[in-house]
Amino acid sequence: MRDALLACLDRKRDMVIDLQRELTAIPALGPDNGGPGEREKADRLKTLLAGMGFPEAREINAPDPRVPCGHRPNLAVVIPGADTSRTFWIISHLDIVPPGDPALWRSDPYALVVDGDLVYGRGVEDNQQAVVSSILLGKALLEEGVTPPINYGMLFVADEETGSKYGLDYVAAHHDGLFSKDDLFLVPDFGLPTSEMVEVAEKSMLWYKITVNGRQCHASTPEAGVNSLAAASLFVLKIPKLHERFPAKNPLFQPANSTFEPTKKEANVDNINTIPGRDVFYVDCRVLPEYSLDDVVAAIQGFGREVEAACGVTIDYAVVQQEQAAPTTPEDTPIVRKVMAGIRAVYPGAKPRPMGIGGGTVAAYLRRRGYPAVVWATLEHNAHQPNERSSIAKTIGDAKVMAHVLVGE
């Protein structure tokens, strides 16, 4: 069974190119990125899958009045297995990001270019490589007449690039029995060219805006004002003390500790001879999952009270983004073990290992609902860049890893 599928996948180079060309030609931009959504791309994909003999797609449409059709389409396609109570899900997304400056592209972003093993175009890696890999495996099952041990499910979601409110978050909340606790979930939307990163954990993320209010005056009479820049500078110097409050380390992550970094600084006054009365800066916090972001906020505000007392300023706070980490997928779960075994079998010399990352992925929407999920793919790591590219060989290789997960030995 497995060998027949792998041999079939080896013959799918032309199919990779054809699918990538079809998908790249449709700019599935969400309304937050100035586009009409994913409807046209979803319809084209449904037509392509029907022509290949796949079962009919189930639509889970998230209402969104900002797009012409009034919703954001999410498609689920399932090939039944011998055990129909469980499903191996490959979850990929249909939306893309804008191309950016066209002068930085060597070709039309929406017209596929093939150069040896690489294809170029907006979306070819993020996330059409995953879309195509999942279709390749499904097509191989149909061509070879293989009934997998469990169901094989492909889920194509909307809105990954702008928050997933209308995508996987919506599907996970409104799936009506689509998922079960015994299912296997793979999200091929992050990874390294070496294939070795098997993402099972994420840090919590906090973007915090801090506004220091003093009193503006002429720089020659500082006693008439309260220098907000001096107070903000004192506050910035206190931020590294968060490492002492939250000192834990976790070897899944690199770096292994939580990070707390002052980043953006807004302009205050335009001229040199004015003491500013208002300063605004931001802090980016990536926090290990065992800590509560509410505790981090409380610690920062504690520093702020010290600055207020020392400098005579008042300080306001605003959360720009706050995302408490989802539970970690345990390393001994079947999906982690199966993915790592598949990587070793398909990519000789690769040494896959469970890892955590500092940012969020859509897998969090599954993990929060008790579904262990893995984020993994073998990517060129150039998403969102001009001249985005994807490897044909790695698209096929990733489909082979998926085959190992599905059918095993």
Q: Which residues, in sequence order, are bridge partners of residue 284?
A: 207, 261
pLDDT value, residue 360: 80
Average pLDDT over residues 235-259: 97
CB atoms within 10 A of CB 177: 5
pLDDT value, residue 89: 98
pLDDT grade for 176, boundaries at 50, 70 and 90: confident
**Domain 204-323: assigned CATH number:** 3.30.70.360
Q: Between 3.30.1360.20, 3.40.630.10, 3.40.50.2300, 3.30.1330.10, what CATH number should domain 2-201+326-407 receive?
A: 3.40.630.10
Q: Does residue 220 register a pLDDT over 80?
A: yes
Check if 160 is active-site.
Answer: yes
Residue of 64, 160, 183, 199 with catalytic role = 160
pLDDT grade for 175, boundaries at 50, 70 and 90: confident
Domains 2-201+326-407 and 204-323 share a fold: no
pLDDT value, residue 381: 86
Q: Does residue 409 register a pLDDT over 80?
A: no
Percent of the chain topping pLDDT 70: 100
Domain borders along the chain are 2-201+326-407, 204-323
Whole-number Å distance between alpha carbons of 398 and 198: 13
State pLDDT tens for residues 275-307.
Answer: 999 999 999 999 999 999 999 999 999 999 999
Residue of 95, 196, 199, 388 with catalytic role = 95
- Residue 368 near residue 103 (C-beta atoms within 8 A): no
Of the candidates 387, 401, 377, 405, the one whose C-alpha atom is nearest the C-alpha of residue 129 is 377
Average pLDDT over residues 169-190: 93
Tokens of 94: 């249909």
- Residue 36 near residue 178 (C-beta atoms within 8 A): no
Average pLDDT over residues 111-136: 98
Length of the chain: 409
- Residue 405 near residue 336 (C-beta atoms within 8 A): no
pLDDT value, residue 63: 98
* Alpha helix stretches (DSSP H) within 127-276: 128-144, 168-174, 228-238, 242-245
pLDDT grade for 359, boundaries at 50, 70 and 90: confident
pLDDT value, residue 112: 98
216: left (phi over 0), alpha (psi -120 to 50) or beta: beta
pLDDT value, residue 408: 85
Which pTM value belongs to this model? 0.89
Helix axes 128-144, 13-24, angle to 10 degrees: 130
Check if 323 is active-site.
Answer: no
Whole-number Å distance between alpha carbons of 93 and 169: 12
